[in-house]
Chains A and B, each alone.
Chain A
Amino acid sequence: MRFIQKVRDSSLWPMLWKEFRQMGRDRFTVGMLVGLPSIQLLLFGYAIRTEVRHVPMVVLDQSGTQESRALVTLLTNTQNFDVAGHARGQADVERVLATGGAKAALVIPPDFSKDLKRGRGATAQVIVDAVDPLAASAAISAAGLASGTGISRLTRGLPEEEAELDVRVRPRYNPGLVSAFNVVPGLVGVLLTMTLVAITSMALVRERERGTLEQLIVTPVTRSSVILGKILPFVIVGYIQMTVILALGHCILHVPLRGDLAALYLLTLPFIIAVLAVGLLISTAVKTQTQAMQLSVFYMLPSMLLTGFMFPREAMPLFCRALAALLPMTYYLEVIRSIALKGAGLAQTWQPALILTAFALVLVTVSVKRFTKTME
Chain B
Amino acid sequence: MTAPLASTTPGLAVETVGMRKVFGKLVAVDSLDLSITRGTVYGLLGSNGSGKTTTIRMLCGLLTPSQGKASVIGLDIATEGEAIRKRIGYMCQKFGLYDDMTVRENLRFYASIYGLRRETLRVRSEELLVNLRLTQRVDQLVGTLSGGWKQRVALACATAHQPDLVFLDEPTAGVDPAARRVFWDIIYELAGAGTTIVVTTHYMDEAAKCQRLGFMSKGRLIANGTQDEILRQFGQPTVEDVFVELQRRDEGVAA
Contact = CB atoms under 8 A, between A and B. Distances in A.
Which of the four size classes fits the interface of chain A? 20 to 34
Interface string A213-227: 111111111000000
B110 interface: yes
Interface in B27-51: none
B62 A214 contact: yes
Contacts of A110: none
Nearest to A8: B117
Interface stretch (A9-17, A45-53, A142-150, A361-369): A9-17
B94 A214 contact: yes
A22 B100 contact: yes
B112 A21 contact: no
Contacts of B90: 215, 218
A312 interface: no
A374 B117 CA distance: 26
Given A22-B98, A25-B100, A211-B95, A9 B110 contact: no
Contact of A214 (B64, B96, B98): B96
B124 interface: no
Interface stretch (B1-9, B80-88, B184-192): B80-88
A132 interface: no
Contacts of B113: 11, 14-15, 216, 219-221
26 contacts: A8-B117, A14-B109, A14-B112, A15-B113, A17-B112, A18-B98, A21-B105, A21-B109, A25-B100, A25-B101, A210-B99, A211-B92, A212-B98, A214-B94, A215-B90, A215-B154, A216-B113, A217-B62, A218-B62, A218-B90, A220-B86, A220-B113, A220-B114, A373-B81, A375-B57, A376-B64
Interface of B: 57, 60-64, 81-82, 85-86, 88, 90-92, 94-101, 105, 109-110, 112-115, 117, 154, 157
Given A18-B105, A219-B114, A376-B63, 18 more contacts: A9-B115, A9-B117, A11-B113, A11-B115, A14-B112, A17-B109, A18-B109, A26-B100, A212-B98, A215-B91, A215-B92, A215-B157, A218-B62, A218-B90, A219-B113, A220-B82, A221-B113, A374-B63
